[in-house]
Amino acid sequence: MSAKVTFNSDRCKGCELCTTVCPKHIVAIDTTVINRKGYHPATVTDISQCIACASCAKICPDSIITVEKF
Amino acid sequence: MAIVYEKSKGLTDAELHYCPGCHHGIIHKLVAESLVELGLLDEAIGVCPVGCSVFAFNYFSCDMQEAAHGRAPAVATGIKRTHPTQAVFTYQGDGDLASIGAAEIVHAAMRGEKFTTIFVNNAIYGMTGGQMAPTTLIGQRATTCQSGRTVEQAGMPIRMAELLSTLDGCVYAERVCVTDIANINKAKRAIKKAFEKQMNREGFTFIEVLSTCPTNWGMTPLKANAWLKENMAAYYPLGVIKDSSAEVK
């Protein structure tokens, strides 16, 4: 199984809640990027480890994360 | 390829104005997802409060009505009585519901009005700049109690779910939080159960959601989450406060 996690990064507010719930610890804040709102957005560091549990998407207050598996 | 999770159709595409890490966004989508999954979205009518969630009508894709400060239960009463077959909910904060609107919520519950109230308790006035609310904890600092709330000056914080559960018209009251996935799942089950009971015309249903206010608490979202679990959940116990159908059994 492989997974795809899409972030609507321009709407991310960098709250980091998604980074606390990932069982694989692969969701992190990307400090090399500043988005349209002026925040460092969240990203997935190693998509090969993703199990598509969608925990990050469920806790995202701004509903900017879409999770797919195939 | 299968979509495992995407933004709920119960929410519009509008960008939320809430601060980073604010739980309003999570609670909004749990309500929206519940309405979609129960097939109630198309006919649902929500009533917005005054407070941080005053613009909630921009975010839900069902019909919404704005109410005067604290008067959402009175407006919802009128809506539900004229549209008895449609799901009606109020979405209110603690300043709106437990302070200026205390009379309206108590009397709506007393009358057993058949709508659902989603009560977001973040223990502070958010929109107006962090003043002490009736739900502010003892020792918690706010702009109007800068050394922390004291019992002598302001009394003990009000537990709305317990208060309303003493009224026969209130058939279901549960307190939940959304700090982690397990609690988010519990909160969603509680919200769905409340809507189901409403549609069964059992009576007034009340879900209190403990929420963070990182900005006015002066904490990062992650510290605020930890503070909620350690302090708020200790004073405001999580779980089912009242379930009339369980009592009957």
What's the confidence (pLDDT) of residue B240? 97
- Cβ–Cβ contact A66 with B under 8 A: yes
Q: How far apart are CA B34 and CA B123, in angstroms?
A: 25
Which H or E element spans position A67? strand A65-69
Q: How far apart are CA A8 and CA A17, in angstroms?
A: 15
Strand B88-93 and strand B45-48: pairing?
parallel
Inter-chain residue contact A52 with B4, CB threshold 8 Å: yes
Contact A13/B215 with Cβ under 8 angstroms?
no
Residues of chain B predicted below pLDDT 50: none
What's the confidence (pLDDT) of residue B247? 64
Tokens in use for B49? 């409060």
- Cβ–Cβ contact A16 with B under 8 A: yes
Mean pLDDT of A7-26: 97
Contact B195/B38 with Cβ under 8 angstroms?
yes
The domain locations on chain B are 39-244
Contact B31/B91 with Cβ under 8 angstroms?
yes
Q: CATH assignment of B39-244, given 3.90.550.10, 3.40.50.970, 3.40.50.10490, 3.40.50.720?
A: 3.40.50.970
- Cβ–Cβ contact B20 with A under 8 A: yes
Is pLDDT above 90 for A29? Answer: yes
Chain B residue whose CA is closest to A57: B5
Residues in A touching B23 (Cβ below 8 Å): 61
Chain A residue whose CA is closest to B27: A61
Chain B residue whose CA is closest to A11: B15
**Which one, of B66, B61, B34, lies nearest residue B198 by Cα?**
B34
- Cβ–Cβ contact B222 with A under 8 A: yes
pTM for the structure as a whole: 0.97
The domain locations on chain A are 3-69
- Mean pLDDT in chain A? 96
- Asked if CATH classification 3.40.1080.10 holds for the domain at A3-69, the reply, yes or no, is no
Q: How far apart are CA B24 and CA B33, in angstroms?
A: 14
What's the confidence (pLDDT) of residue A1? 74
Inter-chain residue contact B1 with A17, CB threshold 8 Å: no
State pLDDT tens for residues B23-68: 999 999 999 999 999 999 999 999 999 999 999 999 999 999 999 9
Q: Distance from A2 to chain B by nearest Cα, in Å?
A: 9
State pLDDT tens for residues A34-56: 999 999 999 999 999 999 999 99
